[in-house]
Structure 1
Amino acid sequence: MFEHLDFNYLLATYGYLAIFIGCLLEGETILILGGMAAHQHVLKLLPVIGYASLAGMLGDQLLFWTGRYFGERLLPRLHKQQAAIDKVTHLVNQHPTVSIFTVRFLYGMRLMGPMVIGACKVSPLKFACINLLGALVWATLFASAGYWAGEFLQQVLGDLKPYRWPIILGVMALVVVVALVRHVRAKRKAAQEG
């Protein structure tokens, strides 16, 4: 099915765009794959990090301003996210600088966190500066992880060209499994607390 698609052409043509769009949302999976593509010399590592950093920062800025202007009305309606909202609010109240930097690294908080920070009336300039630094560190870590995963797989498998689609599908499946396991654990923990 996939063997007729020219993987190099797809990545060279749409790779940076896919990284940018993927990193506007969550982004870790696409960023790891982008790092692996950089290892294979289909993409370049620094532009992967640059596009991912820009998209991650812009996405969080949009969520921050959403929280700033609509947080008082929007957040109380998100009953299923109340535990995450409470955690981020507590973190912002105790350590605002740390919360801005780390919220993108906390599972389940990436989308909710910047909205809560915006609703907490953190300074927009402070948020933008720390958010940019956090996005750069985040993009560098995940793209580098993908790059080094590519290096490891090449040492194990040799030439990765015949394995590119299975690797992509495998990484995506692994991310889905990890997300499901975390979701089930969170549900169990919520049921035990409730």
Structure 2
Amino acid sequence: MSLTQLLAQYGYLAVFVGSVLEGETVLVLAGFAAHQGYLSFPLVITLAFCGGTLGDQISFFIGRYYGAPLLSRFPRLASRAQPINQWIQHYQTGLIVGVRFMYGFRIAGPLVIGMSDVSAWRFLLLNLLGAAIWAVLIAGAGYLFGETLQWLVTDLKQYEEIALLLIVVAAVLMGLVHRLYARHR
């Protein structure tokens, strides 16, 4: 089974699951696949919006009910909680909307916000706004990548599997570099 066949068969599930977690890579790839006609762009955005909202709501409520024991058990998570706590005091609305764009804070952010005095309704409304912006921008970046690549390469269908593979390899490499950098610090 080819990469494009796998994408067509499991792409929507991957978009949703990836968006519940930290799904930027999956979402960029899905945007590109939508440009190529393998996935529906509006459905990709809808699934990313739903998955992104759900993931952050789950993290928020985990923080609300189990936050303190988690921070004491995972010191790395606790180290990320400190700046978020300070930001909540000064930039609550912007932080809630934008936390999904802050690399490395996607899971820790809503968890720590859940431990604060931010109401669940306020978080939900701002989380919905943030998820909508995030889904459109990140999927749109993948779609725009496909458009740009098609403009540069006239017969893109001939190279699409290579392009998809390059996106996956680049995402994996970026993740490895981030992990190495985090370990070094």
What percent of counterpart residues are identical? 43
Superposed displacement of residue 151, structure 1: 0.8
User: Under a length normalisation based on structure 1, what TM-score does the superposition of the two structures give?
Assistant: 0.87
Gap runs ≥5 in structure 2: none
Q: Deviations over 1:78-119 (max 9, x none)?
A: 112333111111111222111111111011000111111101
The whole-number CA distance in structure 2 between the counterparts of 1:75 and 1:111 is 13
Partner of 1:155: 151
1:52 equivalent in alignment to 2:48: yes
- Alignment partner for residue 17 of structure 1, among 13, 35, 43? 13
Partner of 2:104: 108
1:143 equivalent in alignment to 2:139: yes
Partner of 1:93: 89
Superposed displacement of residue 187, structure 1: 4.0
The whole-number CA distance in structure 2 between the counterparts of 1:58 and 1:75 is 21
The whole-number CA distance in structure 1 between the counterparts of 2:142 and 2:176 is 21
Give the letter for the 2:66 counterpart.
F
Q: Deviations over 1:98-141 (max 9, x none)?
A: 11111110110001111111011310000000001100100100
> 61-70 vs 75-84, which deviates more?
75-84
Superposed displacement of residue 40, structure 1: 1.2
The whole-number CA distance in structure 2 between the counterparts of 1:156 and 1:48 is 25
- Alignment partner for residue 179 of structure 2, among 166, 171, 183? 183
- Alignment partner for residue 75 of structure 1, among 71, 75, 79? 71
Q: Deviations over 1:121-168 (max 9, x none)?
A: 310000000001100100100111000100111122223333233222
Superposed displacement of residue 14, structure 1: 2.3
Superposed displacement of residue 58, structure 1: 0.3
The whole-number CA distance in structure 2 between the counterparts of 1:90 and 1:76 is 18
Do the aligned residues in 2 keep the contact of 1:68 with 1:121 (CA within 8 Å)? Answer: no
Do the aligned residues in 1 keep the contact of 2:35 with 2:146 (CA within 8 Å)? Answer: yes
Give the letter for the 2:39 counterpart.
L
Aligned-residue RMSD, C-alpha: 1.7
Gap runs ≥5 in structure 1: none
